[in-house]
C-alpha cells in the first residue's frame, strides 16, 4: 500500500508540474487520459525543462541521481531538458550528526572515542546516498568517514519500482517512446545505484584504481586515489585517506597555484584512455565533485579521484571494436566504421553497409566542418551512437557508462583549457595501443596464455567428432563427406596440440617461429571439422 500511495503522490506531482507535456504525441490515448487533471491543477509559469528539474528535486535522492544520469544522455533527451538537468546538485540537507555517530559505532563495534583521536561532528559533505565527516585515527592519519543514509536501501528500492513502472509506460508510448529504451536505461541505472549502496564494493574499486596507477610507490602518479583503511570498512561505512586538493572546476584556484592548464587537461585525457584501454577499469563518475587537482608537486600536475563506486569495464571484443571505430572516425573512413559495428553485432547483421555508412557520414561531416577549437569528441561519439540506434543498436550498459564518462572528461578538460583538442591527444594513444595489441609478440603471448584452455577443448574433439558423425548418420545427410573430413580435422587438432606443447615449454614463443606450422595445420583442420558439421 505504501508503494501505491507513493505512486499516486508522484503522479499528482507530475500533474502539478504539467509533465504531461513531455508525453510524445504518438502516445496511446489511454496514457494521455491518465493526466487529465494536469490542466486543472498544474501551472506553466516555468518552461517544461525547469518544471521537470523542480519535480525531480522535490521527489528525493533517487530521482535527483536519475536526473543527473539522464543529463549525460543528450542523445536520448531534447536539448533544453538535457541542459536544464545538468543544473542538478548532489548536495542535500545533512541528517543528524548524532545518528551518524551511532551508525559508525554500531558498524565498527566500538565508541568513536576508542577508534578516532578526533571526530568532526559537522559533515564535510552530504550527498543523496551518504554523508561524510572528517576524523583522525589514533595513529595520526587524517581520514574521512563515509556512511550511508539510514533507510536509504528501502527508499531506493521503493522508488526504483516506481521508475520501472514509468519506464514501461514510456516504452509503449509509440515509436518515440521506444527510441528512448527507457526500461533498459532504468535497469542499467538500478544495477549502478545498487552497487553504490555497498561501500565495500566502492572500497575494492578504490584499491584497484590505486594499484593500477601505482599510487603507493609513485608519488608523481598522474592519477592519485586515496588509501583505504580496510579495518574500518563495512557495507555501510568507508574510511579512507583525507585528500588535499582543489576542485577541478575551480579554474581560478588551479591557475593561481601555477599549474600548466594545458598539460593538466591533456593528462586528464591520457588518464581516461589509459583506464579504458590499458587497465580496462575506468572511473565512470568523473563529475567535478569527484575530481580534484593536487596542490602539491606543481611541476608534475596530478589528479585526485574520489568516490569510486561507479566503474566500468569492457570486454576484449568491445575494446577492440571501439578502438577500431574511433581510429576509423579519426581518418573519416565511415565505411570502416559501419563494417566494424555490423561485424561485431552492434547493429543488426542484415544492415546495409552502404546505407549505414552514408548515415554516419551525414552526421559526422558537419562536425568535422567546424573550426578545430569547436570540434567535440563527445558530440561525435553521441552522434555516432545515435545513428547506430536508428539501425537497431542495442543498449549496452558498458558503452553507456563510457559515453557518459567521455562527455564528463571532455567537459572538464575544456573548463580547464578551452582550446583542448581531445582528438589530437586521443588519436596517437589509440593508434599506439592498437599496434601493440596486434603485434606478433602480443598475439603470441595471448595465444600462450590461453593454451591450457585450448588443450582442454582439444581433449573433447574425439567425442565431438563421434557425436557429429552419429548425427549425420541419423539424418542420412552427407555422411560420406563428414567421414571424409573428420580425419583431417582430427589430424589438424593433433598438430595444434603439438604446437601448444611447444609453446608451453618455450620461454620465448618468438624464438621458435617454426612451431607455428603445426598450429596453422591444426587451425585448418578445425576449420574443416566445423565445415563438416
State the cell numbers at 109: 563495534
70 contacts 76 by C-beta, under 8 angstroms: yes
| Residue 285 is a catalytic residue | yes
333 contacts 364 by C-beta, under 8 angstroms: no
Q: Which residues contact 389 (CB under 8 A, 6 or more apart)?
A: 75, 179, 181
Query: Widest CA span of the chain, in angstroms?
Result: 83
| Percent helix, percent strand, percent coil in the chain, to nearest 5 | 65, 10, 25
Nearest to 223 by CA among 241, 211, 239, 235: 211
Question: Vertex 169, ends 164 and 170: CA angle to 5°?
Answer: 95
State the cell numbers at 82: 538535457
DSSP for 31-51, written as a single string: HHHTTTTHHHH---SS-HHHH
Residues 205-210: contacts with CB under 8 Å, at least 24 apart = 205/308, 205/309, 205/311, 206/240, 206/308, 208/281, 208/311, 209/275, 209/281, 209/283, 209/305, 209/308, 209/311
Q: Which residues contact 470 (CB under 8 A, 6 or more apart)?
A: none
Q: Which residues contact 292 (CB under 8 A, 6 or more apart)?
A: 243, 245, 246, 247, 248, 303, 304, 305, 306
User: What is the phi/psi pair of residue 248, to 5°?
Assistant: -65, -25
Residue labelled with grid coordinates 542535500: 92
Distance of CA 352 to the CA centre of its chain: 29
216 contacts 231 by C-beta, under 8 angstroms: no
User: What is the phi/psi pair of residue 216, to 5°?
Assistant: -70, -35
Give the active site residue among 20, 159, 188, 285.
285
Strands (E) across 53-193 are located at 116-126, 130-137, 142-148
Q: How far apart are CA 458 and CA 504, in angstroms?
A: 15
Q: How far apart are CA 304 and CA 206, in angstroms?
A: 12
Q: How far apart are CA 31 and CA 24, in angstroms?
A: 10
Question: SS3 of 134, please?
Answer: strand
CA distances from 135 to 109, 239, 271, 293 (A): 17, 9, 30, 22
Provide the annotated active-site residues.
285
Amino acid at each position: 500500500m505504501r508503494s501505491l500511495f507513493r505512486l499516486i503522490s508522484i503522479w499528482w506531482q507530475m500533474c502539478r508540474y504539467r509533465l504531461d507535456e513531455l508525453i510524445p504525441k504518438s502516445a496511446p490515448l489511454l496514457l494521455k487520459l491518465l493526466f487529465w487533471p494536469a490542466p486543472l491543477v498544474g501551472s506553466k509559469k516555468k518552461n517544461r525543462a525547469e518544471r521537470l528539474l523542480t519535480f525531480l528535486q522535490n521527489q528525493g535522492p533517487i530521482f535527483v541521481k536519475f536526473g543527473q544520469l539522464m543529463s549525460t544522455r543528450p542523445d536520448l533527451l531534447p536539448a533544453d531538458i538535457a541542459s536544464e538537468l545538468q543544473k542538478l546538485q548532489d548536495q542535500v540537507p545533512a541528517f543528524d550528526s548524532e545518528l551518524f555517530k551511532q551508525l559508525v559505532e554500531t558498524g565498527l563495534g566500538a565508541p568513536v572515542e576508542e577508534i578516532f583521536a578526533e571526530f568532526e561532528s559537522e559533515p564535510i559533505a552530504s550527498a543523496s546516498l551518504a554523508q561524510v565527516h572528517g576524523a583522525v585515527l589514533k595513529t595520526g592519519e587524517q581520514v574521512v568517514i563515509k556512511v550511508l543514509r539510514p533507510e536509504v536501501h528501502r527508499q531506493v528500492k521503493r522508488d526504483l519500482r516506481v521508475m520501472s513502472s514509468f519506464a514501461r509506460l514510456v516504452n509503449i508510448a509509440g515509436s518515440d517512446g521506444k527510441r528512448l529504451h527507457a526500461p533498459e536505461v532504468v535497469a542499467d541505472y538500478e544495477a549502478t545505484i545498487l552497487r553504490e549502496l555497498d561501500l565495500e564494493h566502492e572500497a575494492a574499486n578504490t584499491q584497484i584504481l590505486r594499484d593500477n596507477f601505482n599510487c603507493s610507490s609513485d608519488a608523481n602518479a598522474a592519477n592519485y586515489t586515496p588509501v583505504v583503511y580496510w579495518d574500518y570498512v563495512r557495507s555501510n561505512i568507508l574510511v579512507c585517506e583525507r585528500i588535499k586538493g582543489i576542485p577541478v572546476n575551480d579554474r581560478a584556484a588551479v591557475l593561481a597555484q601555477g599549474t600548466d592548464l594545458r598539460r593538466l587537461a591533456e593528462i586528464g585525457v591520457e588518464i581516461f584512455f589509459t583506464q579504458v584501454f590499458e587497465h580496462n577499469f575506468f572511473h565512470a563518475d568523473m563529475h567535478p565533485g569527484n575530481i580534484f587537482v593536487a596542490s602539491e608537486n606543481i611541476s608534475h600536475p596530478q589528479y585526485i579521484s574520489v568516490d569510486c563506486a561507479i566503474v566500468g569495464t569492457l570486454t576484449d571484443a568491445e575494446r577492440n571494436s571501439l578502438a577500431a571505430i574511433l581510429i576509423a572516425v579519426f581518418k573519416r573512413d565511415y565505411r570502416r566504421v559501419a563494417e566494424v559495428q555490423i561485424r561485431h553485432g552492434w547493429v543488426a547483421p542484415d544492415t546495409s553497409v552502404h546505407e549505414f555508412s552514408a548515415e554516419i557520414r551525414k552526421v559526422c561531416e558537419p562536425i568535422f566542418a567546424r573550426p578545430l577549437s569547436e570540434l567535440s569528441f563527445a558530440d561525435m561519439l553521441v552522434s555516432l551512437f545515435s545513428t547506430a540506434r536508428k539501425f537497431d543498436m542495442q543498449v549496452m550498459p558498458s558503452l553507456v557508462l563510457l559515453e557518459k564518462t567521455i562527455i564528463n572528461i571532455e567537459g572538464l578538460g575544456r573548463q580547464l583549457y578551452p582550446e583542448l583538442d581531445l582528438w589530437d591527444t586521443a588519436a596517437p594513444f589509440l593508434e599506439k595501443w592498437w599496434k601493440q595489441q596486434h603485434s606478433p609478440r602480443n598475439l603470441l603471448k595471448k595465444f600462450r596464455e590461453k593454451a591450457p584452455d585450448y588443450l582442454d577443448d582439444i581433449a573433447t574433439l574425439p567425442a565431438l567428432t563421434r557425436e557429429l558423425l552419429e548425427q549425420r548418420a541419423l539424418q542420412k545427410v552427407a555422411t560420406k563427406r563428414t567421414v571424409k573430413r573428420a580425419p583431417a580435422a582430427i589430424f589438424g587438432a593433433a598438430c595444434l596440440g603439438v604446437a601448444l606443447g611447444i609453446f608451453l615449454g618455450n620461454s620465448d614463443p618468438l624464438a621458435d617461429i617454426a612451431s607455428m606450422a603445426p598450429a596453422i595445420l591444426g587451425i585448418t583442420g578445425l576449420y574443416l571439422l566445423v565445415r563438416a558439421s
